[in-house]
Structure 1
Amino acid sequence: MEKTFQYVDYLWDEEKAASYGDDQVALFLYRSNILGADLRITNYGGGNTSCKTIEKDPLTNEDVEVMWVKGSGGDIGTLTREGIAGLYTERLRNLKNVYKGIEDEDRMVGLFNHCIYDLNSKAPSIDTPLHGLLPFKHIDHLHPDALIAVAAAKDSEKVTKEIWGDTMGWVPWQRPGFDLGLQLEKCLKENPGIKGIVLGSHGLFTWGDTSYECYVNSLEVIEQASEYIAKKVKEKGEVFGGQKIKSLSPAKRKDKAAELMPMLRGLASSENQMIGHFTDSDTVLQYINSNDLERLAPMGTSCPDHFLRTKIQPLILKLDASEDLSNTEEVLKKLNPAFDQYRKEYKEYYENCKHDNSPAMRDPNPVIIIYPGVGMFSFAKNKQTARVASEFYVNAINVMRGAEAISEYTSLPRQEAFDIEYWLLEEAKLQRMPAEKLLSRRVAIVTGAGGGIGKAIADKLVAEGANVVLTDVNEENLKEAVATYKRDQVDGVICDVTREESIVEAYKKANLAFGGVDMVIHSAGLAISKPLEETTQKDWDLLQDVLVKGQFLMAQKGVEIMKKQGLGGDIVNIASKNGLVAGPNNVGYGTAKAAQQHMTRLLAAELGGDHIRVNTVNPDGVIVGSKIWEGEWAEGRAKAYGITVDELPAHYAKRNLLNEIIYPDDIAQAVFCLTGCLTKSTGNIINVDGGMANAFVR
């Protein structure tokens, strides 16, 4: 029977669950996924779940209990069979015989491998013994905002008792590891019959005999905590000490954020280039505009899952929401000291807390940046990480609000936080992460990306790790193109490159989506092939507007952003062999392409001092998959060469030195070469034409 909850989503589908039959592992994975679908319950990568089953030992053929648990670095919302570890439960429990105390925690993680049952297991996480030392068939370890608010309240143990009486246990804060598993085991022994345990400053453990019972138990406990906090908030009457400043309107917040983000991105990238994210949700605004912001924010977050992704505390900007940000130099004069101070304090935190064997200090720049009246920015190595950091800080805001309503919010002592952040096991997890791709941490905007060459370029840049904003004048084509990519790495915006205001909006979207722009790829184009006497002024103006004016405006507005960032950049213009070679029936198109090529050289000469490199790719005969060959251009070129349209691909392939057909992917490879490999090349032309001697530039 479906249950009703006010503060969490009940997502259990009986028909779907029944389809798994008695497969307890499948049901545990199903439970995990629907729990992870609700950010109020746990965030991306947060928490872990498990189940225990009876299996045949492959060596003895005897029945043994096996625990299946989320592996290290996984996410319960997307957990699959490949992301779990299977361990002999009894062997895991026998590790109590060799455990030597807190100082032995790191060694114990290595011993988990001696307990592996399933040889295809994901690496077991540090939380493995917390599940293994409890006897229940199904267990959830979650980080719900409401529960962490209870756990982070000054009188957490008392509040736990007030909400649940004798039905819930409580253990004080302790770093995750084998000893915390022993503490859970002890708590259960001393409080038989409890339905869960609150971990001080950390989270929640709940359980059940079946996956469904475990799921409902988790929801009910979270619902009860949420109801309690809602009542306390109502009694208190105001949140975070009330409102101190008023927010700008939604449109003005977006404008202000888009204007500021490239400057913030540049400053946050002083050691490693970062990708940005912006949010101005009601939850965020209530917190950042409050009287208590200056008191609460420096305290830092309480839950380890939070501060591992957000850093221990945010940077609060000392900018007025209505302040004019158009003068980059003046704004940076105000921002630079704030970033310098943040880095200085982070270094002091590291120096004061480090141990002899601590890993080297990581990037001291802020991850979370707060602009009262406007919103919250986050910066990380990629869009997903930046977005998730933002989501985790929203969780932290919810925790602070709840704890303050209950009594008083408390955070972890700095040394405890450091010991988590710079834990050697955490460092080992970071070292196991796959190497970043060549264009990771970079943002590209590609015009004409709804199909053809532009889409191929976007595909290649995405494949090499770049974040890409696709633009096109055709909304249907753009939607279809954007739909081919996964979340986070790509965004799309309608853009008419002949209109300055349209280009400004496209860059605004890029700033809000990723924090700025590093690569401008002007691929939007069209082709008109007519003799001089048949070329109309409309034809001429259209070619000049799309190819030349569009390139000029894209470069002009893009360079403004690149200079704000101070990170250099790339501009690659897709021109044509026809800009170098004189041919019949081509006066409008060839002239425009020649203008594109020379503008590239002029900009390369002008922008080199800012480390902005400007280059050209010249395609020729890209017939297969190219949009411009779908219209009158193909007929015009066929007429010029005295052949049929169907004969064009063979004609173009035969006339180049390599006798090769040129595809959109070949142009994309050239763009990647210029942006990812030839990092000391500017003012150059790369011909991608199979070899046309009359187009050789030297």
Structure 2
Amino acid sequence: MSLQELLEHSRRYGSDPAFVLLGGGNTSYKEGRTLFVKASGHALGTIGKEGFVRMDLDLLDQIWHKQYSQDDEEREDEVLKDMMFCRLEGETARPSVEALLHALLPFPYVVHLHPALVNGLTCAQEGEASVHRLFGDALWVELVKPGFILANIVRERLVEHQAKTGKVYSLIFLQNHGIFVGGQSLGEIEQVYAKVLGTIEAQLVRKPDFTDLGADEVKVGQVMDVLQAFGKEKVLFRNTVEFKRILADRSSFAKVSSSFTPDHIVYAGFKPLWVDEGAEVKKAFVQFEREHGSSPKIVCVQNLGVFSLGEKPLPLFFDTVAISVYSESFGGPRFMDEAMINFIRNWEVEKYRSQVSTS
């Protein structure tokens, strides 16, 4: 196997919205004591060799012997500087924030993705219990701050599990995030993903219905004109069978009213804007900006449809709705809590990822 094969598999996963959207997910390959890991902000679907950073595994291991600040911002800045130092000479790209986690897993290949099917489980009320029931040999990690904190918790649990069983976790489910799979080959990882998705799909009580529906063209045009005046991004509109269900009233909308994963915050905003039927869209938009210090990227108008300010937020909202529907099979939806959402919104790493992806 080789980096070229990792590239081919990365592009295949990245081009399939069932596995990952936009710049989400990352992959890695170890050759000797060198880690090739995806650079931050690069999309798997179009990644080239320049999208991977070569890192020294021995230097990365030394990070675990250092003490870092207890302050979130200072700690992540300190760890980032150390991770940048771990790059091999000549490397200029910034490694994925999850490079530490990739380095920890003792497998030649690691593939981390965010399938909506998987997140229908990881973002569900009964997610942990369901993982233990369906995947007894997998590690479940509760909602924790990404970056160094997440990697350190996984490291501690890997050590503990290996001491007890002599085995290493190759399958990791992260609450409100996604899945990590490690393997001796990419073929082995592919088989694991197929088994995981098949197992979850067999548990579903229903799937989302994204069949397109019509809408009042005059009302749609009026809303689009209002939203277009707020920015340069092209405004898109969609209405589907599933959207009609969630836009019936505020109670139905509550199931998709917040953020399931960091990707949703980065590309679609931390929450969509709800506008009551007949209410002034402009007034609701301005009020959202005043209350939250940022503009909504998704606007949901009751009994009309969904508006997206730009192309990127829309597929993430579809993803939100799909995850919510899948979660019905595992006790119903569970969003990230307010503290975690605020952490992600203000985390320099995610701001950087969003900027690189946009450029």
The aligned residue for residue 366 of structure 1 is 296
What is the rounded CA distance, in whole Å, between the counterparts of 2:357 and 2:43 in structure 1? Answer: 15
What is the rounded CA distance, in whole Å, between the counterparts of 2:113 and 2:281 in structure 1? Answer: 38
Amino acid at match of 2:295: N
What is the rounded CA distance, in whole Å, between the counterparts of 1:251 and 1:294 in structure 2? Answer: 20
What is the rounded CA distance, in whole Å, between the counterparts of 1:432 and 1:79 in structure 2? Answer: 13
Alignment of 1:177 onto 2:155: no
* Contact persistence 1:67–1:87 (CA under 8 A): yes
Can you list the C-alpha shifts for 1:160-195, whole angstroms capped at 9, x where unaligned? 111112x21101111211221122223333342543
Can you list the C-alpha shifts for 1:216-238, whole angstroms capped at 9, x where unaligned? 2223222322322x2x348xxxx
What is the rounded CA distance, in whole Å, between the counterparts of 1:259 and 1:375 in structure 2? Answer: 13
Q: For residues 129 and 253 of structure 1, do their structure 2 counterparts lie closer, same or farther at Cα, with a shift above 3 Å needed?
A: farther
**Deviation of the 1:255 alpha carbon:** 5.6
* Contact persistence 1:49–1:139 (CA under 8 A): yes
Q: Work out which of the residue numbers 113, 131, 134 in structure 2 matches 1:160.
A: 131
What is the rounded CA distance, in whole Å, between the counterparts of 2:174 and 2:327 in structure 1? Answer: 15
SS class of match (1:206): strand
Q: For residues 312 and 433 of structure 1, do their structure 2 counterparts lie closer, same or farther at Cα, with a shift above 3 Å needed?
A: closer
The percentage of aligned residue pairs carrying the same residue is 22
* Contact persistence 1:137–1:208 (CA under 8 A): yes
Alignment of 1:396 onto 2:344: no
Can you list the C-alpha shifts for 1:344-366, whole angstroms capped at 9, x where unaligned? 3314xxxxxxxxxxxxxxxx221
**Deviation of the 1:425 alpha carbon:** 3.1
* Contact persistence 1:317–1:369 (CA under 8 A): yes
* Contact persistence 1:133–1:182 (CA under 8 A): no
What is the rounded CA distance, in whole Å, between the counterparts of 2:315 and 2:287 in structure 1? Answer: 25
Alignment of 1:376 onto 2:306: yes
What is the rounded CA distance, in whole Å, between the counterparts of 2:358 and 2:311 in structure 1? Answer: 19
**Deviation of the 1:200 alpha carbon:** 1.2
What is the rounded CA distance, in whole Å, between the counterparts of 1:275 and 1:156 in structure 2? Answer: 37
SS class of match (1:387): coil
The aligned residue for residue 344 of structure 1 is 290
Q: Work out which of the residue numbers 37, 41, 45 in structure 2 matches 1:77.
A: 45
Amino acid at match of 1:294: F
Q: For residues 214 and 375 of structure 1, do their structure 2 counterparts lie closer, same or farther at Cα, with a shift above 3 Å needed?
A: same
**Deviation of the 1:135 alpha carbon:** 1.0
The aligned residue for residue 190 of structure 1 is 160
Q: Work out which of the residue numbers 67, 74, 88 in structure 2 matches 1:117.
A: 88
**Deviation of the 1:259 alpha carbon:** 4.3
The aligned residue for residue 45 of structure 1 is 23
**Deviation of the 1:153 alpha carbon:** 1.3
* Contact persistence 1:171–1:199 (CA under 8 A): yes
Alignment of 1:261 onto 2:220: no
Amino acid at match of 2:274: I
Can you list the C-alpha shifts for 1:572-603, whole angstroms capped at 9, x where unaligned? xxxxxxxxxxxxxxxxxxxxxxxxxxxxxxxx
What is the rounded CA distance, in whole Å, between the counterparts of 1:289 and 1:369 in structure 2? Answer: 14
The aligned residue for residue 274 of structure 1 is 233
The aligned residue for residue 223 of structure 1 is 198
Can you list the C-alpha shifts for 1:320-366, whole angstroms capped at 9, x where unaligned? 6xxxxxxxxxxxx722332233223314xxxxxxxxxxxxxxxx221
Q: Return 5+ residue gaps in structure 1 as ranges.
A: 1-21, 55-64, 241-246, 321-332, 348-363, 380-385, 436-698
Can you list the C-alpha shifts for 1:585-643, whole angstroms capped at 9, x where unaligned? xxxxxxxxxxxxxxxxxxxxxxxxxxxxxxxxxxxxxxxxxxxxxxxxxxxxxxxxxxx
The aligned residue for residue 413 of structure 1 is 337
Q: For residues 288 and 174 of structure 1, do their structure 2 counterparts lie closer, same or farther at Cα, with a shift above 3 Å needed?
A: same
**Deviation of the 1:311 alpha carbon:** 1.5
The aligned residue for residue 451 of structure 1 is none
**Deviation of the 1:262 alpha carbon:** 1.4
Structure 1 segment 512-523 matched on structure 2, within 5 A? none
Can you list the C-alpha shifts for 1:124-153, whole angstroms capped at 9, x where unaligned? 121111101111111111111122121111
**Deviation of the 1:251 alpha carbon:** 4.6
What is the rounded CA distance, in whole Å, between the counterparts of 1:399 and 1:309 in structure 2? Answer: 16
The aligned residue for residue 213 of structure 1 is 188
Alignment of 1:201 onto 2:176: yes
**Deviation of the 1:396 alpha carbon:** 1.0
Larger RCO, structures 1/2 (Cα 8 Å, 6+ apart): 2
Amino acid at match of 2:285: F
What is the rounded CA distance, in whole Å, between the counterparts of 2:356 and 2:22 in structure 1? Answer: 19
The aligned residue for residue 61 of structure 2 is 93
Aligned residues: 351
* Contact persistence 2:125–2:333 (CA under 8 A): yes
Amino acid at match of 1:139: V
What is the rounded CA distance, in whole Å, between the counterparts of 2:69 and 2:80 in structure 1? Answer: 13
Q: For residues 432 and 312 of structure 1, do their structure 2 counterparts lie closer, same or farther at Cα, with a shift above 3 Å needed?
A: closer
**Deviation of the 1:367 alpha carbon:** 0.6
Amino acid at match of 2:227: L
What is the rounded CA distance, in whole Å, between the counterparts of 2:70 and 2:114 in structure 1? Answer: 24
* Contact persistence 2:277–2:303 (CA under 8 A): no
**Deviation of the 1:429 alpha carbon:** 4.9
What is the rounded CA distance, in whole Å, between the counterparts of 1:34 and 1:432 in structure 2? Answer: 21
Q: Work out which of the residue numbers 260, 267, 275 in structure 2 matches 1:302.
A: 260
The aligned residue for residue 164 of structure 2 is none
Amino acid at match of 1:399: I
Q: For residues 429 and 161 of structure 1, do their structure 2 counterparts lie closer, same or farther at Cα, with a shift above 3 Å needed?
A: closer
What is the rounded CA distance, in whole Å, between the counterparts of 2:338 and 2:251 in structure 1? Answer: 20
**Deviation of the 1:67 alpha carbon:** 0.8
What is the rounded CA distance, in whole Å, between the counterparts of 1:209 and 1:172 in structure 2? Answer: 26
* Contact persistence 1:152–1:410 (CA under 8 A): yes
Amino acid at match of 1:280: N
**Deviation of the 1:117 alpha carbon:** 2.0
* Contact persistence 1:368–1:377 (CA under 8 A): yes
Q: For residues 163 and 101 of structure 1, do their structure 2 counterparts lie closer, same or farther at Cα, with a shift above 3 Å needed?
A: farther
Q: Return 5+ residue gaps in structure 2 as ranges.
A: 162-166
What is the rounded CA distance, in whole Å, between the counterparts of 2:215 and 2:328 in structure 1? Answer: 31
**Deviation of the 1:428 alpha carbon:** 4.6
What is the rounded CA distance, in whole Å, between the counterparts of 2:78 and 2:186 in structure 1? Answer: 32
**Deviation of the 1:391 alpha carbon:** 0.4
What is the rounded CA distance, in whole Å, between the counterparts of 1:212 and 1:433 in structure 2? Answer: 29
Q: For residues 423 and 208 of structure 1, do their structure 2 counterparts lie closer, same or farther at Cα, with a shift above 3 Å needed?
A: same
- Flag the structure with larger Rg: 1
Q: For residues 402 and 292 of structure 1, do their structure 2 counterparts lie closer, same or farther at Cα, with a shift above 3 Å needed?
A: farther
Structure 1 segment 469-508 matched on structure 2, within 5 A? none
Structure 1 segment 230-245 matched on structure 2, within 5 A? 230=204, 232-233=205-206
The aligned residue for residue 667 of structure 1 is none
Q: For residues 388 and 53 of structure 1, do their structure 2 counterparts lie closer, same or farther at Cα, with a shift above 3 Å needed?
A: same
Q: Work out which of the residue numbers 108, 111, 118 in structure 1 matches 2:79.
A: 108
**Deviation of the 1:66 alpha carbon:** 0.8
**Deviation of the 1:44 alpha carbon:** 0.8
* Contact persistence 1:253–1:375 (CA under 8 A): no
**Deviation of the 1:253 alpha carbon:** 4.8
The aligned residue for residue 335 of structure 1 is 281
What is the rounded CA distance, in whole Å, between the counterparts of 1:223 and 1:102 in structure 2? Answer: 41
**Deviation of the 1:213 alpha carbon:** 1.3
Q: For residues 278 and 102 of structure 1, do their structure 2 counterparts lie closer, same or farther at Cα, with a shift above 3 Å needed?
A: farther
SS class of match (2:135): helix
